[in-house]
Structure 1
C-alpha cells in the first residue's frame, strides 16, 4: 500500500455515474455515498479517471486529472484500481 502524501475526504466509489452534472457541465451532486471516508486522494482519482473509459470512451483520463490539477501517478493508480477491482 502506498503511503498517502495527504488525507482527504473521498467518495469511495468515484465512478462517473456517481457524479451528477448540471446542464452546463458543472458539478451538481454526488450520489452513492455509502463508502465516504478519509483516504489518499488517489483512492478516488484512480477510479474516477478509469471510469471515464467505460462511460465516455478512451482519451478522457488525462483531462479529468488535469481538472484536479494533477498528472498520472502510475503506482498509486495501479494499486487503487487493483484494490477497487478486488472488492
Structure 2
C-alpha cells in the first residue's frame, strides 16, 4: 500500500486515517509515532517538508523522515507531534489559559524573525516570519501547556505578521464562539487591533462565518 522504504519503518504498527483538514491530502497516523501525507500535489508537500526542516533548527516541531515520489503520488513521512492541538475541549473550556499559551506561541514565531528565513509566504509580503495558517488546530502543546510544534507549514515564510494575527483572531472567535478573548490576547501581546489588515487578509466568506456563529 505504501512505498517499501516507509513500509519497513511502519511494519507492525496500526494506523488510522485522519479526517481533519481541507487540503485533499490523505493523512495516515501510525500509533502516535509517525504521520504520512500522501498527495498528488508535489509542490505543497515539498514546501511543507522544506519549511519543517528549516523551522526545526530553531524551535520544536516534527522531524522529517523521508519524501518519496512513487506511482504519480508524493509521500511525506515525518514524526508525530505528541500533544494536543489548541482546539482540545480542555483549552476551549478555559479561554484565559488559552490566551496565555498563545502569547508563548507568538513569541516562538517572533523569535524566527531574525533567522534569515530563505522562504517567502505566498499570500502576503513583509519581513516577519509567518506560519501562513495560524489557526488553533495547527498549534500543539504538551500536558504542561508547553509548545511542542506547528503543523501545516507549507505556506510559512517571510511575510506580514498581521496575516497570522488575522487568522489567529478568526480561529479564536470561530472556535470559542465569541470575540471577547481576541481583545484579551491582543492586550497580553501589547498589540493594537488593525482593522485594515484584519479585513485585508481575512476573506469575506470567513468573516461571514463568524456572523453565523452569533
TM-score (norm 1): 0.77
Distance, in Å, in 2 between the alignment partners of 1:83 and 1:7 is 25
Q: Find the residue that maps to 1:75 and give its secondary structure.
A: helix
Q: Hey, which bits of structure 1, 4+ residues long, moved more than 3 A? A: none
Counterparts of residues 1-87 of structure 1 (less than 5 Å): 7-58=127-178, 59-82=180-203, 85=206
* Count of aligned pairs between the two proteins: 81
Q: Find the residue that maps to 2:200 and give its secondary structure.
A: helix
User: Structure 2: which 5+ residue stretches go unaligned?
Assistant: 1-124, 207-214
Query: Would you tell me which structure has more strand in proportion to its own residues?
Result: 2
Task: Indicate conservation of the 8 Å contact 1:9/1:36, yes or no.
Answer: yes
- What is the CA RMSD across the aligned residues, in angstroms? 2.2
Aligned CA distance change for structure 1 residues 50 and 66 (closer, same or farther; 3 Å): same
Distance, in Å, in 2 between the alignment partners of 1:9 and 1:65 is 18
Shift of the alpha carbon at 1:83?
7.9
TM-score (norm 2): 0.34
Shift of the alpha carbon at 1:81?
0.6
